[in-house]
Amino acid sequence: MSARHAEARSFDTGIDSGAERDAMRARIDAARRGTILALPQGRLVTLAELFGLDALEADIISVLWAAAFSSELRVELAPKEPSNEITVALVAALFHHPLRIHLKSESALRLWRIADERPLPDGRSSLTLDPAVLAWLEGDDEVDRALAGRVYLLPPALELDHWPLGAVERRLREGLQQGQRWRVCLVGGDALAARWFAAALGKRLGFPVLDVPNGSLSDEPDTGVRLHRQAFLSRNIPCIAVEDAHLSRPQGVLPYPVQIVHGGQSAAQPGSEGRDLTIELLPPDPETRERLWRYMCPKCLVWPREALDDLVLCHEAGVSDIAAVAASAPENAVDAARALRERLRGDLGVLARRTESAFRWDDLVLPGAVERRLKEIAFEARERVRVWADPEAARLFPYGRGLIALFAGPPGTGKTMAAQVIAADLGLDLLTVELSAVVSKWVGETSQHIQQLLSSRAAQRSVLFFDECDALFGKRVEEVRDAQDRYVNMDTSHLMTALESYPGIVIMASNLKGNVDTAFLRRIRHIVDFTKPAAAARKQIWQRVVRTLFGRAQAEALTADLERVARIEATGALIKNAALSALFVSRHAQKEPDARLLGEMLARELAKEGAGISPRDLETVLEAAP
């Protein structure tokens, strides 16, 4: 079981490996003459100290080492053995140890796979020295063949200011001086950040870090042993993904005094050998993200300052995210933001779908007060990152740091478009929640879906949009009559708690604000009321849509007609649909559109909602003076 603590010193003994091997040969010759000499100082003594070899085990290594380079010695020692086998009994007799015909079950040579033991027909054991150990004795820093090409030394990388490297280094050094063994558990999903932290910690401690990529090593029992044997021989700190955490507890032997496990939750195992030190690697703040962009994507130095600020503030990217995007060589901040969004897509399954956000601010036709309020929301979405980076501000608001807005008003008044405009302005995806997938008839399942949704990286790095939010955030049942009422209220309470602790951006839309529970309303940062457009706004919407669909010249020719049609009360959505229908009808009839065609198409759209306009009333509106 034993293996001593590796010390921060070189294994270079100052003795040439060939000279030490010759000394081993001379010692064997002396033993054959009946004189037992002490082991000379060198790499073999160091090996014995590292792995706790007893005298017989050290002598076995000395014979196997010398015999590996001298076939004559093998013949001299075992002339009657098939293939001149070196056996445990032979070495025990040579150096006057008590007779043994095979290694003990708990022998360090067996447990650490230093020597391979093969049973012989007469019950004795033949021994061969492991190639990696033989290479090490010869002074070659050779990687174990089971590890070669699968593990890698981590190069030094950037140290981030918010990492507690100094405190961790002090804790480990103090523990190692007291003979403690440590496993540093790095909690978080950013594998590259964990590797950077590991490399920086190894540099401070004076030990290189040996990275074991997830799944790179087999599940065979001796793989972990070989990994830690390599760590002792090369003085490397193993760095292991949490999915392969079993490698941090090698079977039957003590692990290397310092090792690192990263990813997911803590890999702590109470009662296991050694101590676990859990470190949560927090995501980088805006200042650190800008430093990372400048470090990994130098071309960002020439990007417009405002564009870089948007990239840094609106996209809570980690080290791995920024590295992956930088590797794609984005031409500008817009390309970088698009690449970041692509990395997050697809992890929500059926709970949400991405909604295209191609609209701009000048596509909105809204009252000035409403548009100003929407721009306030977009500004807060950027600036809040700086606000919550202030410890005092964060202390004052332990909850409710997310940005939640409610857009309330009749259908077709621009609520969804406004959400799309804000998402596009921020350079974020708009994820529309699929209520049919979230809401479940089974007890507790709705809450589970909401928790899954809000805890996902994709949601937290996008704008989350709840359309017709009344289905989820409706009023609680005041007079509870049965179990179903109780479960409805439980789901509602869970939703309120989940939203209060959600750090991201949420926009909700409702046709009837009065249907939303008042407790939810108190937790909403912004409530924006959308109303049906007035005549002037309707004319502006008609002009924009007709200019887009029919061309600028046709829109100018229809100026007076559009003013007449704009007198008919309609929402922006109805106007857009009417203009689109007019486009296809005019093309089918192969004639230019006029006020009558636009009015008839609008009347058709109004009829869908039960608010149609009679032909006589439509005629009156169209014939009236502009």
How much of the chain, in percent, has pLDDT values that exceed 90? 53
Q: Which of 15-24, 103-112, 309-318 has the highest mean pLDDT?
A: 103-112
More confident residue, 494 or 599: 599
Please give the structure tokens belonging to residue 318: 């980690």
User: For residue range 537-590, what is the model confidence (pLDDT) as tens digits?
Assistant: 999 999 999 999 998 888 888 888 888 888 899 999 999 999 999 999 999 988
Phi, psi of 480 (to 5 degrees): -75, 120
589-614: per-residue pLDDT in tens?
888 888 888 888 998 998 888 777 87
Considering only residues 607 and 418, tell me which one the structure prediction assigns the higher pLDDT: 418
> Which of the given ranges, 33-47, 260-274, 492-506, 519-533, has the highest pLDDT on average?
33-47
DSSP state at residue 300: G
The torsion angle over the Cα atoms of residues 600, 557, 418 and 439, rounded to 10 degrees, is: 30
pLDDT at 348 over 70: no
Q: Which residue has the higher pLDDT, 67 or 618?
A: 67
| Exposure string for 206-229, b = 16+ CB within 10 A, e = fewer | ebbbbbbeeeebeeeebbbbbbbb
Span 83-103, mean pLDDT? 91
Q: What is the CA radius of gyration of the chain?
A: 37
Q: CA-to-CA distance for 237 and 230, rounded, in angstroms? A: 10
pLDDT at 489: 57
- Read off the pLDDT of each residue in 48-60 and give the average, rounded to a whole number: 95
For residue 189, give both structure tokens.
């999903």
Q: What are phi and psi of 79, to 5 degrees?
A: -70, -25
Q: In what order do the strands lie in the sheet with 505-510?
A: 352-355, 430-433, 463-466, 505-510, 403-408, 526-529
Residue 19, pLDDT > 50, answer: yes
Lowest mean pLDDT of 226-230, 282-286, 514-518, name the range: 514-518
Residue 412's nearest CA partner among 552, 211, 606 is 606
- How many other C-beta atoms are found inside a 10 Å radius of the C-beta of residue 56? 18
499 compared with 384, residue with greater pLDDT: 384
361-370 b/e with 16+ CB inside 10 Å = b? eebbbbeeeb
Residue 438's closest CA among 419, 465, 417? Answer: 465
Give percent of the chain above pLDDT 70.
90
- Nearest CA-CA partner of 63 in 152, 134, 135: 134
> In angstroms, what CA-CA distances link 216 with 48, 223, 228, 241?
30, 11, 15, 10
Question: What 3 state SS string does 227-256 have?
Answer: HHHHHHHHCCEEEEEHHHHHHHCCCCCCCC
Give the pLDDT score at 397: 82
Instruction: Report pLDDT for 619.
Output: 81
- The yes-or-no verdict on residue 14 having pLDDT over 70 is no
- 152 CB contacts (<8 Å, ≥6 apart)? 210, 211, 213
Q: What's the pLDDT tens digit per position in 513-539?
A: 777 777 777 778 899 999 999 999 999
Does the pLDDT of residue 147 top 80, yes or no? Answer: yes
Report the distance separating Cα 593 and Cα 601, nearest Å.
Answer: 11
Count of residues in the chain: 626
Note the pLDDT of residue 625.
Answer: 56
> CB–CB of 433/351 below 8 Å?
yes
Between CA 585 and CA 303 the distance in angstroms is 47
For the cut 90, the answer to whether the pLDDT of residue 84 exceeds it is no
Q: How confident is the model at residue 131 (pLDDT cuts 50, 70, 90)?
A: very high
pLDDT given at position 201: 97
Mean pLDDT of the chain: 86
Angstrom distance (rounded) from CA 179 to CA 176: 5
Residue 541's nearest CA partner among 373, 407, 414 is: 414
Q: Which of 106-120, 234-248, 329-343, 471-485 has the lowest mean pLDDT?
A: 471-485
Distance CA 236, CA 585 (A): 75
> Residue 290's pLDDT band (boundaries 50, 70, 90)?
very high
Locate 592 and state its tokens. 């230019």
pLDDT at 258 over 90: yes
Burial 161-198 (b: 16+ CB within 10 A, else e): eebebeebeebbeebbeeeebbbbbbbbebbebbbbbb
pLDDT-derived band of residue 449, with 50, 70 and 90 as boundaries? confident
Q: Are 223 and 161 in contact (CB under 8 A)?
A: no
Location of structure tokens 């930088």: 326
Q: What is the tens place of the pLDDT at every residue in 405-417?
A: 999 999 999 999 9
Which one has a higher pLDDT value, 592 or 8? Answer: 592
Q: Which has more confidence, 17 or 306?
A: 306
Rounded Cα distance, 271 and 268, in Å:
9
Check pLDDT > 50 for residue 477: no
CA–CA dist 518, 54 (Å, integer): 76
What pLDDT was estimated at residue 561?
A: 84
SS (H, E, C) 49-92: HHHCCCHHHHHHHHHHHHHHCCHHHHHHHCCCCHHHCCEHHHHH
578 or 500: which leads in pLDDT: 578
Q: How far apart are CA 539 and CA 541, in angstroms?
A: 5
